[in-house]
Structure 1
């Protein structure tokens, strides 16, 4: 291996690491706020890419119907809760309207929308809206009632949700793989390196999202409420911060980050209904490096995972996945020594 090959592999590793960083940040965010190890994060990645691919082919994405089904299920739960707790009619109607309005609008306009073949940026925005709205609905369906459960219980639920979403993805999108068009077709040569426009967009979007998250948590009241919940859930609740609202917000942000990750990576690799699982696992390795608590450490871990995967594919391409996931073993051992641990009550 010479310096030219090392530079090319390094660029490829940094590009993949940027995607894994987004996934890892979402995992850290969800865990710090809700104590949920969110294994289905990768499904948001796949759904984002496959939704845009379906629009490109002039088909109504299966996520439209999945979103509608989830909204109806949440509406039924809210209706049952409202009747049981005797909510005022105005509150019950507002809750149902808030849950059902957007999914029904999307379902009604989707056939006409995909036939008109709008500009790529419009399709991207619609894709982000559809997948992002799944986040709070998923939290309401699978996790909100278990907000006080142990981490192990929540992990078991996450495994079940992952398999359910994977099966739904197979039903709605089929077993075929899809790619989406690049957002920018330009190419720039800098010495031995060749930067594609898509690579620059991945780096740029990742940096913008990191900056936006920093400003959100540092400068906004909602972000500070999430930070307070992640530091001390009981204390935040005593200060009037709703744990359910914080969990719903964290899932909304995780869904957005997952959908964006899928849109960024899909022009450079074929996405299948179950591709998100591997991407999510690599993000999880980075999140474990951060102790599921530190955003900067998660970013560093993701870059490391990307570089290990890139150089591992050069030396032993058949074992690159094994190499990446084997890295988690010394990381877990290291975290067990450096992190204070306690019994969960």
Structure 2
């Protein structure tokens, strides 16, 4: 391996590591607030990339119908709840948010060919179609069992993952998709060529991480999420809604996943089931952070990206094994360091 190859592999590793870091932060956030090990995080990556690819080819993405179906289910649940409580004034708002908005999006995409729209509008449409699925899934799958054990919540996550993977195959087919590059700019650094798309991914990831930091430090909702993550019972006693915190954490996780999928869609071919492996590598980074520390999780995810990149050069057939083996010494070290408490 010469210096040029090392730089190219490092560039690829940092690009992947930036995406894994975002997913690790999302997984830590969801677990800290709701105790949910969010296995379907990777599906938002795949759905975001494939939805954008469908829009750019002029097709109506299947996520439109999933959004509408989940909206109808939530509308029925929330509407019946409002009727039982005698809150008839809430019905128009419930119908508008859960059914009216998805219908409006579907009608817009049917009336206007999305392939003719500018790239920023296509990205915005992809976000509007996929990000709301996060809080909707929380409302339907997790909120009814929010007080259950971590094991039960993990089983629910597995079920949601399997369902979303099957729906992804139904919506997008078995063929992979890749979007055109967002930029063709490249930079020469010595003998190595730095792609503008790589710079865009890293810069966008850093910008999103900074935005999340400012959200948690400067906004009332961010501070409420931090309080819930530190002490759920104490947060409730202070008037912070656990349901609202769960909804917000799933919304942020979905946003991070969709943006990650959009960023990597020009540099890798995404299939309906690609999100699971991508999310799993982000999960390795989250485990390194103990599902609690955001900076350590981000650093661990960057390490995963670099390890994967250099492993693909030295032992490409075993790169996945090498990456996931990293979790064994981390778990062993944490097991020896942590004081175990016997369950009652």
The answer to whether the superposition gives a TM-score over 0.5 is yes
Distance in 2, matches of 1:104 and 1:4, equals 52
Moved more, 96-105 or 242-251: 96-105
Aligned to 2:163: 164
Q: CA deviation at 1:71?
A: 0.7
Q: Between Structure 1 and Structure 2, how many residues are aligned?
A: 344
Q: Encode CA deviations 1:253-278: one digit per residue, 9 max, x unaligned.
A: 11110000001111111000000000
Q: CA deviation at 1:103?
A: 1.1
Q: Encode CA deviations 1:186-226: one digit per residue, 9 max, x unaligned.
A: 11111132111111110110111011001000000000000
Aligned to 1:274: 273
Does structure 1 conserve the Cα–Cα contact (< 8 Å) formed by 2:142 and 2:153? yes
Distance in 2, matches of 1:255 and 1:146, equals 20
Aligned to 2:192: 193
SS at match of 1:188: strand
Question: What 5-or-longer segments of structure 1 have no aligned partner?
Answer: none
Q: CA deviation at 1:77?
A: 1.6
Q: Encode CA deviations 1:218-263: one digit per residue, 9 max, x unaligned.
A: 0000000000000000000010000000000000011110000001
Aligned to 2:135: 136
Distance in 1, matches of 2:306 and 2:115, equals 41
Distance in 1, matches of 2:343 and 2:296, equals 24
Q: Map 1:85-234 onto structure 2 (within 5 A).
A: 85-115=84-114, 117-234=116-233
Distance in 2, matches of 1:238 and 1:57, equals 51
Aligned to 1:244: 243
Q: CA deviation at 1:79?
A: 2.4
Distance in 2, matches of 1:339 and 1:76, equals 46
Moved more, 67-76 or 156-165: 67-76
Q: CA deviation at 1:343?
A: 5.5
Q: CA deviation at 1:98?
A: 2.4
SS at match of 1:39: coil
Q: CA deviation at 1:340?
A: 4.1
Distance in 2, matches of 1:254 and 1:328, equals 22
Distance in 2, matches of 1:299 and 1:194, equals 26
Distance in 1, matches of 2:32 and 2:339, equals 16
Question: What 5-or-longer segments of structure 2 have no aligned partner?
Answer: none
Q: Encode CA deviations 1:78-99: one digit per residue, 9 max, x unaligned.
A: 123233x423100233233222
Q: Encode CA deviations 1:107-143: one digit per residue, 9 max, x unaligned.
A: 1111123356101111011111211111110100100
Distance in 2, matches of 1:65 and 1:54, equals 14
Quickly say closer, same or farther: Cα 1:248–1:344, change in 2 above 3 A: farther
Does structure 2 conserve the Cα–Cα contact (< 8 Å) formed by 1:28 and 1:287? yes
Does structure 2 conserve the Cα–Cα contact (< 8 Å) formed by 1:131 and 1:255? yes
SS at match of 2:163: helix
Distance in 2, matches of 1:53 and 1:313, equals 27
Aligned to 2:15: 15
Q: CA deviation at 1:62?
A: 0.8
Q: Encode CA deviations 1:293-343: one digit per residue, 9 max, x unaligned.
A: 111011100111001101110011111111111111111112222334545
Aligned to 1:304: 303
1:33 matches 2:37: no
Distance in 2, matches of 1:274 and 1:336, equals 32
Quickly say closer, same or farther: Cα 1:266–1:341, change in 2 above 3 A: farther
SS at match of 1:189: strand
Aligned to 1:4: 4
- Normalising to structure 1: TM-score of the pair? 0.97
Q: Map 1:10-89 onto structure 2 (within 5 A).
A: 10-83=10-83, 85-89=84-88
